[in-house]
A = this chain, B = another copy of it.
């Protein structure tokens, strides 16, 4: 299940453009975070996807939404991909993202404000960051055009789904991995910013690798063992 989440939309028409694009690619679960007022324009631009706008769920904040809908996997999108020194914004392209996608559980695709995109805090909530390769002269796309490309790539790759034998690890399993790695990192005597980076990189790798339940189990065993050995010291 894929939720398409528009974070603080500012322009009523864009809600409609996004709804239409969603329906073009077979998606109908729209979420609006603290949106502007819906207007006629929102329904007009949706054309034959008006029911997507009408059925959109509204939340006040991203964490509230993630909690209420029990989201397993959160995907951020950004037009400002990190350079190599901006770890939180290191991103994959939409085709690489789609290629590795295993659609089990509930996924949220976050699209940011028209003006400012997603904040750093919001980006850090995400398991994976996706960015569209664009020309350096003008890298920032209109948000609904960017969404069209991401949804298109996911739609293209869907034919091969679901790959049942490769069932993805659940959010609980992945959170367990991340938590254990955090414990390990804590024991390494790093200054705070370094341990934060180390944890973030691990989380992103887990997010991007679409690991199976079986793999998560094996890795958890290894991490737990490492953690214990470090304790004994």
A residues within 8 Å of B by Cβ?
17, 20-21, 23-26, 45, 47-49, 81-85, 87, 90-93, 95-96, 100, 132-142, 144-146, 148-149, 152, 155-156, 160-163, 165-166, 184-185, 187-188, 190, 194, 197-198, 201-202, 204-206, 208-215, 218-219, 221-222, 225-226, 229-230, 232-233
Q: Is the pair A202, B188 in contact by a Cβ cutoff of 8 Å?
A: no
Residue numbers in B under 8 Å from A25 (CB-CB): 134-135
Instruction: Say yes or no: A218 contacts B201, CB within 8 Å.
Output: yes
A205 and B188 form a contact (CB under 8 A): no
Cα A219 to Cα B209 in complex, Å, equals 15
Return the chain B residue nearest A52 by Cβ: B138
Q: Tell me whether A24 and B134 are in contact (CB under 8 A).
A: yes
Closest Cβ of chain B to A22, distance in Å, is 9
Contact, CB under 8 Å: B204 / A215: yes
CB neighbours (8 Å) of A87 from chain B are 214-215, 218
Is the beta-carbon distance between A134 and B149 smaller than 8 angstroms?
Answer: no
With A45-B142, A90-B166 given, name 17 new contacts (CB 8 A). A17-B142, A20-B138, A20-B142, A23-B137, A24-B145, A25-B134, A26-B137, A83-B165, A84-B212, A95-B156, A133-B162, A144-B145, A194-B221, A198-B222, A201-B218, A202-B219, A206-B209
